[in-house]
Amino acid sequence: MSKEGVTPENLREDPKETIFAKIIAGQIPSKKVYEDDHVFAFHDISPAAPVHILVLPKKPLGGIGEASDDDEQSLGRVMIAASKIAKQEGFADDGYRLVINQGKHGQQSVHYLHVHIIGGKQLSWPPGCQ
């Protein structure tokens, strides 16, 4: 089953032209929870759990499958920011899940690397396998 928005066209879109690039640029409003020089994070508009925050590098990157050694610092900063956000928002102690969707089968609907922080309830295992 594919979620809405997962299309070949979306996955070919230039990351610099995506909705996420426009959110980071302030052209589209969001419920921001964190921002620094390298990372931007906001609440997902279609949450899958009580806590559902997206964490993005400000450096445009289409997905984890397009990452190279040059992206090492940017990716590390996203992961550190996710930990900071969990503490800042008060759900770190209970636990949470970090998810990166890649490509059609991974249900990536926006061609811009983003990490989902999902929590606020007991999550099941394995995730997304049916």
**Which sequence positions are flagged as catalytic?**
114
Q: Which of 42, 125, 122, 26 is nearest to 82 (CA)?
A: 42
Write phi, then psi, for 116 (nearest 5 degrees). -90, 130
User: What angle (nearest 5°) sits at the alpha carbon of residue 69, between those of residues 66 and 104?
Assistant: 15
